């Protein structure tokens, strides 16, 4: 990613929350339904995820990028997820999440979040997608052609405000 380009607000938020992200997910839908129906189904699934992780959905941090795919303009989403308390085995949780989404909705890909790649991930979800992605370059190139929406959970926004408050207090001292 060119160093001279300023970050988008979304890239900054994602990078600032890097210490909280646990997983990167891609969710697809076998049955499309309406846009609001898909959003509602993801929210219901996140309630289930929170119970599996010994927390409440309101305590999950996540950012979702909704987009339409290149084949048939098919909606799907990408997500960073954090706030799961009971993660004794992160890899096992990946398979639990994938299996449950598959039984409910469609295909789910889950990876443990790699902190070393946070700038790439921030660029992928919240940026101008100008990173050299190699094998994923085709997926990235469609962002400029398709309608996308980035949404941060309330807990993610609250955590950002707390981080900013601490930074402001430290700077004033």
| Residue 167: per-residue pLDDT | 58
| Residue 154: per-residue pLDDT | 95
List the chain pLDDT tens, one digit each, 173 residues.
445 567 788 888 999 999 999 999 999 999 989 999 999 999 999 999 999 999 999 999 999 999 887 666 788 999 999 999 876 678 889 999 999 999 999 999 999 998 888 888 888 787 665 544 444 444 444 444 445 678 999 999 999 999 987 655 555 55
| Residue 89: per-residue pLDDT | 72
In Å, the largest CA–CA distance within the chain is 55
CA–CA separation, 173 and 103 (whole Å): 53
Hey, what long-range contacts does 129-132 have (CB within 8 A, 24 or more apart)? 130/1, 130/2, 130/5, 131/1, 132/1
| Residue 140: per-residue pLDDT | 44
Q: Is the pTM of this model over 0.75?
A: yes
Architecture category of domain 9-172 in CATH = 2-Layer Sandwich (3.30)
CA–CA separation, 54 and 97 (whole Å): 14
Query: How do the domains of the chain map onto residue ranges?
Result: 9-172
| Residue 169: per-residue pLDDT | 55
């Amino acid at each position: 990613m060119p160093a001279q380009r300023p970050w988008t607000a979304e890239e900054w938020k994602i990078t600032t929350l890097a210490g909280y992200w646990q997983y990167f997910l891609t969710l697809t839908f076998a049955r499309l339904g309406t846009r609001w129906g898909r959003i509602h189904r993801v929210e219901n699934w996140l309630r289930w995820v929170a119970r599996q992780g010994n927390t409440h959905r309101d305590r999950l941090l996540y950012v979702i990028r909704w987009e339409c795919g290149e084949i048939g303009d098919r909606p799907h989403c990408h997500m960073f997820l954090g706030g799961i308390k009971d993660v004794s085995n992160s890899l096992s949780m990946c398979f639990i999440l994938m299996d449950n989404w598959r039984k409910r909705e469609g295909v789910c890909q889950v990876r443990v979040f790699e902190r070393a790649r946070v700038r790439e991930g921030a660029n992928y979800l919240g940026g101008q997608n100008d990173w050299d992605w190699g094998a994923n370059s085709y997926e990235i190139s469609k962002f400029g052609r398709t309608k996308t929406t980035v949404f941060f959970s309330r807990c993610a926004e609250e955590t950002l405000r707390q981080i900013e408050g601490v930074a402001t207090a430290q700077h004033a001292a």
